[in-house]
Structure 1
Amino acid sequence: MSSTRFVRRVIVIGLDGLSPRLIEEFQGRGELPHLAELRRRGGFSTVATTAPAQTPVAWSSFATSRNPGGHGIFDFLTRDPASHRVDMALNRYERPNPLLPPRVVNLRGGDPVWSVLARAGIPSQVLRPPCAYPPDPGQGQIRLLSGLGVPDLRGGFGTATFFTEEPEVRALESERVVRLERKPNGELVGSLIGPRDAKGDLVREIKLKPRSDGPGLLLEGVEGGPVALEPGVWSGWTRVKFKAGLLRSTRGIVRWRLERNDPPVRLYASPVNFDPHSPLFPISEPPEYAGDLADTLGLYATTGMVEDHAGLANGRLDEAAFLNQCDLCWREREAMLRHALNRSSEGLIFCLFDTPDRIQHLFWRYWDDAHPAHRGRPRTEQGAAAILDAYKRADTMAGLALEAADDQTLVIALSDHGFDDFRRGVGLNAWLQDQGLLTPKPNIAPGDPAGDYLQGIDWSNTQAYSVGLGAIFLNLQGREAQGIVPPDEAAHLAERIAAGLTGLIDPQTGQTAITRALCRDAIFQGPYVNRACDVLVHFAPGYRVAWGSSAGRVDDATFQDNDHAWSGDHVIDPDRVPGFLAMNRPYDSAAATGPAPRLIDLAPTITKALGVPAPDEWEGRSLIP
């Protein structure tokens, strides 16, 4: 043990999306006693988030003490310049040899704090960190369960299945619609869509039969025998098996919710998660850790995006159903935290709670009476209380850490960013078209979803395009497959775009929609800068990139109301959405005594507390003396 080590254990409670502004408001009403106790013991401050202010970007900077150029995560989505194809930006799948099975590669670089501690012989328990799929090697010192970045069994962020007898229902965002066929004997038959293989989608037939012991239906086709479904109640996790051949099968787990018991029957199935006992690819370090947790705690969600926000946005789930699912997510994560606190008295414990972020995204409209998202949506007492309830529950998680702490424990609670309104969307591709920098294909009309994922762009006449949450790329010769911008003109074009977007006014409201747009060299430094966009847009509160533009579509207008249930956001100017930081020991929290705390300062703070030198390439500073 290092002679400079002054604590045996550091407990970090990550509370995704908690806004310091709301914490101050709720604390002023006496609502958050445990965060108030942290403030009393050590301090409370804002913490500077990343540019862009996105969850995978920010938590990667927390873990590696690097700006995005140093760890390589810039967004949820990116593009492959060689093919103009939209890809996930967190990981990729490779098969370098057709004789070998595919493998998943984590696109986050940098040295995370738990790996630095492991090399010093200090153990870590790391629960659900983003951008740790596949997990970081542990050298026998790390127990890690991967978080954001773990896909569902189909390889995406999460695709639910909506079963219905109604023939006119069409699939909406992130879902499959499956028609239930009613047999003469009254049984209903449908197919749960599972993973893809070389021959197409694998499916599992399910049957629904009337129950003899009460209201509801009996579900057949899952492992372990029939499951009794009650109307309006989430089932427990059920195992399903998809056969890929005579001796090959893939297992997953699903929750079900019977939305309508009487004809026409409606049944909602969550995305098919990896089974923690037999995931397609490793989701924990060591690999058996995921299954060991399930043996101890029961089955749990493994996808990186646990809460079914698309189910609420699509109207398949009402607010009560969604919040009930959020409650299940809280319970699973709290059980993991309690387990970690009970089994380790030294080293690092990190546990991330994502649910506050999802709840704020979907219930922010309750903080804005004039929000366009109110159109056609009822207001409920439960919805109005959802954000405060999430903050109170987050406070309880901080309380668990305080309860477990002794005088040799540093407790840190923090968020990766704050939150604000999202009332209006900005179609960046439509703006680029107006500037003569982008030309749509003539056979795909602006706004047509057929143009999603950059499919609606005429590359031979396009100099710049947008995909992701505020990223603009140049169609650069020698980099993009069909690039037309000469390299010696690239810097001038990027500066022209940044200048044109900075201070952009929404003509309908008269408000500034974009505070600033910056060329990448002004924001990012490090070995992964070549992955970054050429121009990054920082939106003003109330604005965000429009839904179509985020998917690479050319919208039919530059400005549009956001009437989506996803009514709050944080992908705006990072200065407007800092996170919060609280500790049970005094720390340098005042800008007057030095730089204000940043997310990149937390990893050096943790290693300093545990007596381990910070790597030279880390950019942050310790906040404790």
Structure 2
Amino acid sequence: MPLFPRTAFTSNSSIAISVTHNPSLNNVKTSHDVVSNQALALKDGGQVWNHRLEDPDKVVILARQDRRQWKSLWGGTTPGSMNTPRTLIIGLDGATFTLIEPLIQAGYLPTLARLMSQGIHGYMRTWPNMNSEAGWTSLVTGYNSGQHGIYHLAIRTQHDYTWRLASAADRKKDPFWCLLSAAGQRVGIINVPLSYPADPVNGFMLSGMHTPDIHSPGFAHPPDLLDDLRRQGIDYIIGVLRLADLCRRAPQRALQAAQHLVDVRSRTILYLMKTRPWDVLMAVFAVTDILQHFFWPDKDVSVENDVWTPMRSIYQQIDSFLSEALEIIDENTTVLVVSDHGFGPAYFGKECLSHLFARLGLLRYRQDGPQSKSRWLKNLLPYGRKVVPYWLRSPLKQVLPRLYGRALREVEFPSVDWSHTQVFVRRCGEQIYINLDGREAEGIVPSKEYAPLRERVRDILLNLTDPTTGHHVVRAVHWREDLYHGPYAGQAADMLVEWDYDVLRDSLCYRTAETSIIVQSPKRFDRDRRVAGLHRPQGIFIAYGPHIKRGTTVANVSIYDIAPTILYLQGHSIPGDMDGKVLANIFTDERLRHYPS
């Protein structure tokens, strides 16, 4: 497959070099310079550029034809030229065809309708990445969490049940933009979750979710990028402070704030697309996820209904942005629209697992004084979000890391008596841990009982039903070693539950020959505490461009496939250990004949 890892030339040079698969070329002489088996020298007006070739048998000479275009004597392209393949990736956090397709049918999203009808689209499997941090990291690296090290918004500091917020510094694999940047291509990255601190790329970058503040060192690359935006009248913001609270207490104000956020993000992207050179640009709209959490209807209603107004409005606004973006790109640009997971109505039965395990004697809660301490620590995070200024939160987390970690622990595992607990589960309800002796700080399960206990817990989970319908609510239970591999696979939960969201509601029932145990989520009755929508394991994938098949659908797309497909589009080699594959079936036959995947 073609490789274009580096190109270099001086401003007025008449020769440029690009590397590609062309084994027939060994020593190529030109009237200007000589390409030898050892090194390359480019001279122009007394300036010399030297580059040692790692593989001198793969060389193409590019002759400049005029100021606008470079023509390859044997094929190939130069980054930044009119012939350069470019890729624009737009991320919509939590976007789902469950909402997009009815909005298209109702005529609200003409641009997305065009991309889907004139390109290719399909569901993208994101499970077991059911949260944004793991999902986006897998999407941009092409690796599973056992390879890149990100499983959730928080990282276990050690096996003592405490946590800290994750950042890009915890990511153990390079995202596609680092690979392309190192190869001389120009990249632009805007608001990708878990991208702080920004990478010093060949191009520009504004980090996303979990950035302490736009004034934090490492938020922007280059550092003067914010100043450039301000000169254009763009007061950039990462997100809306306390948007979740606004969604609960003042829905109209929340929508207005979200619309402002989308407007600022759109103007930022369009301005940088027009004024900064780029070969690959990726930008993410995260506000779609937040609004869907709080405004998803609790019953199946038409998208014309007023309950859909917040999401309908935001998706229309993003659709208008996409229309403007399509006016900017050239005919050599491929457009990808992706999400990190899907969405659907919120049901809280999976959050009852801790109560079920307690009823079965696998977990115990504290009964006296520590319970009040647990409530105090658990309330620390939401109280801090209300009263602590945004700019002060990161310094406080650094000054009081142990207190912050303990507060996170009490949110995830409130009032747990670890000395009498064999199994514990994260609040999301998918990740189950064995309280293993010798691994966990207060582990009590001997290693010889690890396998039998996992089997017992799996049998319990597979027999769970909805108490009203009697239908089983769990599709499958997976061991972590079957889902993850790599040096960080040991950080995963011991078991992962794949719920059946077509059946799961707010209660769980476990029946034995002697009795039936029914547990219900308290959030079912607390509208102030509950959210309206929750994540689903099917994201979206849309591709549109000169080499993409038209008017069809694609199946079996994995979140791990996006990064290698972007690298292929840009002519970059694919690392052999990537979990994802190039989505060859989305490309035209002509493209694949010229550039096999």
Taking the aligned partners of 1:306 and 1:111, their CA distance within structure 2 comes to 30
Question: Of the two, which has the highest radius of gyration?
Answer: 2
User: Structure 2 counterpart of 1:311, which letter?
Assistant: L
Taking the aligned partners of 1:619 and 1:589, their CA distance within structure 2 comes to 27
Change (3 A) 1:544 1:392: farther
Matched, 1:300 2:236: yes
Given the alignment, which residue of 442, 452, 460 partners 1:492?
A: 452
Matched, 1:528 2:488: yes
- Whether the aligned pair in 2 keeps the contact of 1:421 and 1:567 (CA below 8 Å) is no
Given the alignment, which residue of 205, 210, 227 partners 1:149?
A: 210
Q: State the shift of 1:123 in Å.
A: 0.8
Taking the aligned partners of 1:473 and 1:311, their CA distance within structure 2 comes to 34
Change (3 A) 1:311 1:35: closer
Taking the aligned partners of 2:146 and 2:177, their CA distance within structure 1 comes to 20
Matched, 1:584 2:548: no
- What residue number does 1:442 align with? 367
- TM-score if structure 1 supplies the norm length? 0.67
Q: State the shift of 1:114 in Å.
A: 0.3
- Whether the aligned pair in 1 keeps the contact of 2:119 and 2:545 (CA below 8 Å) is yes
Q: State the shift of 1:118 in Å.
A: 0.6
Taking the aligned partners of 2:373 and 2:362, their CA distance within structure 1 comes to 18
Secondary structure (helix, strand or coil) at the match of 2:458 reads: helix
Given the alignment, which residue of 291, 299, 308 partners 1:359?
A: 291
- What residue number does 1:319 align with? 251
Taking the aligned partners of 1:38 and 1:589, their CA distance within structure 2 comes to 9
Matched, 1:471 2:408: no
- Whether the aligned pair in 1 keeps the contact of 2:347 and 2:506 (CA below 8 Å) is no
Larger relative helix fraction: 2
- Whether the aligned pair in 1 keeps the contact of 2:146 and 2:487 (CA below 8 Å) is yes
- What residue number does 1:372 align with? none
- Whether the aligned pair in 2 keeps the contact of 1:72 and 1:108 (CA below 8 Å) is yes
- What residue number does 1:461 align with? 420
Taking the aligned partners of 1:71 and 1:590, their CA distance within structure 2 comes to 35
- What residue number does 1:187 align with? none
Q: How does 1:74-93 map to 2 (within 5 A)?
A: 74-88=151-165, 90-91=166-167
- TM-score if structure 2 supplies the norm length? 0.70
Taking the aligned partners of 2:95 and 2:139, their CA distance within structure 1 comes to 15
Q: State the shift of 1:4 in Å.
A: 5.1
Taking the aligned partners of 1:402 and 1:518, their CA distance within structure 2 comes to 42
Q: State the shift of 1:294 in Å.
A: 3.9
Matched, 1:537 2:497: yes
Q: State the shift of 1:389 in Å.
A: 2.0
Given the alignment, which residue of 333, 336, 340 partners 1:412?
A: 336
Identity of aligned residues (%): 27
Taking the aligned partners of 2:473 and 2:245, their CA distance within structure 1 comes to 26
Given the alignment, which residue of 36, 45, 60 partners 2:122?
A: 45
User: Structure 2 counterpart of 1:72, which letter?
Assistant: G
User: Structure 2 counterpart of 1:147, which letter?
Assistant: G
- What residue number does 2:244 align with? 309
Q: Out of 403-412 and 465-474, give the one that drifted further.
A: 465-474
Structure 2 unaligned regions, length at least 5? 1-17, 21-74, 78-82, 379-409, 508-517, 593-597
Taking the aligned partners of 1:121 and 1:148, their CA distance within structure 2 comes to 27
- What residue number does 2:92 align with? 15
Matched, 1:329 2:392: no
CA deviations over 1:328-372 (Å, ceiling 9, x no partner): 111111111111211235411111011111111111126447xxx
Structure 1 unaligned regions, length at least 5? 92-104, 152-273, 370-379, 548-555
- What residue number does 1:253 align with? none
- Whether the aligned pair in 1 keeps the contact of 2:185 and 2:279 (CA below 8 Å) is yes
- Whether the aligned pair in 2 keeps the contact of 1:424 and 1:542 (CA below 8 Å) is no
- What residue number does 2:103 align with? 26
CA deviations over 1:233-291 (Å, ceiling 9, x no partner): xxxxxxxxxxxxxxxxxxxxxxxxxxxxxxxxxxxxxxxxx2x3x32x42223344344
Matched, 1:571 2:496: no
- Whether the aligned pair in 1 keeps the contact of 2:119 and 2:552 (CA below 8 Å) is no
- What residue number does 1:340 align with? 272
Q: How does 1:114-513 map to 2 (within 5 A)?
A: 114-138=177-201, 141-151=202-212, 274=213, 276=214, 278-279=215-216, 281-302=217-238, 308-313=243-248, 315=249, 318-365=250-297, 367-368=299-300, 383-425=307-349, 426-443=351-368, 449-450=375-376, 452-453=410-411, 454=413, 456-469=415-428, 470-508=430-468, 510-513=470-473
Q: Out of 412-421 and 339-348, give the one that drifted further.
A: 339-348
User: Structure 1 counterpart of 2:310, which letter?
Assistant: A
CA deviations over 1:56-105 (Å, ceiling 9, x no partner): 111111100012222111112354444322332x23xxxxxxxxxxxxx7
Taking the aligned partners of 1:524 and 1:4, their CA distance within structure 2 comes to 38
Q: State the shift of 1:590 in Å.
A: 11
Q: State the shift of 1:541 in Å.
A: 2.2
Change (3 A) 1:540 1:290: farther
- Whether the aligned pair in 2 keeps the contact of 1:330 and 1:353 (CA below 8 Å) is yes
Change (3 A) 1:326 1:442: same
- What residue number does 2:47 align with? none
Taking the aligned partners of 2:544 and 2:135, their CA distance within structure 1 comes to 19
Change (3 A) 1:540 1:355: same
- Whether the aligned pair in 1 keeps the contact of 2:134 and 2:152 (CA below 8 Å) is yes
CA deviations over 1:214-244 (Å, ceiling 9, x no partner): xxxxxxxxxxxxxxxxxxxxxxxxxxxxxxx
Change (3 A) 1:505 1:589: farther
Q: State the shift of 1:422 in Å.
A: 0.8
Q: State the shift of 1:124 in Å.
A: 0.6
- Whether the aligned pair in 1 keeps the contact of 2:344 and 2:535 (CA below 8 Å) is no
- What residue number does 1:604 align with? 564
Secondary structure (helix, strand or coil) at the match of 1:578 reads: strand
- What residue number does 1:250 align with? none
Taking the aligned partners of 1:508 and 1:489, their CA distance within structure 2 comes to 35
User: Structure 2 counterpart of 1:28, which letter?
Assistant: Q
CA deviations over 1:471-493 (Å, ceiling 9, x no partner): 22211122211111122322332
- Whether the aligned pair in 1 keeps the contact of 2:95 and 2:288 (CA below 8 Å) is yes
Secondary structure (helix, strand or coil) at the match of 2:336 reads: strand
Taking the aligned partners of 1:561 and 1:481, their CA distance within structure 2 comes to 31
- What residue number does 2:512 align with? none
